[in-house]
Amino acid sequence: MTAAQSSPRKRAGNGAVRPIDAEEIGLDALVGHAGYAVRRFQIWIFQDFIRTLGEVDIRPTQYSVLTVIGANPGLSQMAVAKRLGIERARLVHLLDSLEQRKLVKRVKSKTDRRSHALHLTTQGETALAKFKRLAAEHERHVEEKIGRDNRERLLRILADFT
């Protein structure tokens, strides 16, 4: 059986059989699941963020890390990981890539020889300012999609999870 034969099909008005469009597939109980709706919105948000910040090649998690380091110079890797809910191993890999791009630097901690304090480089500070301008454009896209009042309401609802 080919992929075309095994995919769902529907009869058109003229009797011809055609593949079912994704929008025609029923979601059953998923329609009432907040988690499903939030995940679909997250996918849209990430796609728009990546598209809007594509010219600077920054992903949402990288932007979050840079923003937190920029607002809190000298934080440890552990503190950043904990605050943003990122696994330590994943953060180390992410910091390695940001360090290679000369956006972040690790400085040996003066209080704990086993840890490093995180700082933006001068290049990182300049880049973050540009990233923030592009992220503001992305937020305007979100507002266009769901409306200003709904965006503000959504932020209030989600504030307990940040």
Instruction: Quickly state the pLDDT bin for 82 (edges 50, 70, 90).
Output: very high
The mean pLDDT value of the chain amounts to: 90
In this structure, are residues 110 and 81 in contact, taking their beta carbons and an 8 Å threshold?
no
In this structure, what CATH number is given to the domain that contains residue 81? 1.10.10.10
Please check whether residue 2 lies inside any domain of the structure. Answer: no
User: Which one-letter DSSP state was computed for residue 109?
Assistant: -
In this structure, are residues 76 and 116 in contact, taking their beta carbons and an 8 Å threshold?
yes
Q: Tell me which residue range forms the domain holding 39.
A: 29-161
In this structure, are residues 122 and 104 in contact, taking their beta carbons and an 8 Å threshold?
no
Query: Whole-angstrom Cα distance, residue 150 to residue 139?
Result: 13
* Range 84-98 average pLDDT: 96
Please check whether residue 9 lies inside any domain of the structure. Answer: no
Please check whether residue 7 lies inside any domain of the structure. Answer: no
Using one digit for the tens of pLDDT, what is the confidence trace for 6-55? 556 655 666 667 777 877 888 888 888 899 999 999 999 999 999 999 99
Residue 73 backbone phi and psi in degrees, to 5: -55, 140
In sequence order, which residues have a C-beta less than 8 Å from that of residue 67 and are 6 or more positions away?
Answer: 128, 131, 132
Please check whether residue 89 lies inside any domain of the structure. Answer: yes
pLDDT at 1: 47
Share of the chain above pLDDT 90, in %: 73
Query: Whole-angstrom Cα distance, residue 19 to residue 17?
Result: 7
Please check whether residue 71 lies inside any domain of the structure. Answer: yes
Please check whether residue 135 lies inside any domain of the structure. Answer: yes
Please check whether residue 1 lies inside any domain of the structure. Answer: no
Please check whether residue 6 lies inside any domain of the structure. Answer: no
Number of domains forming the structure of the chain = 1
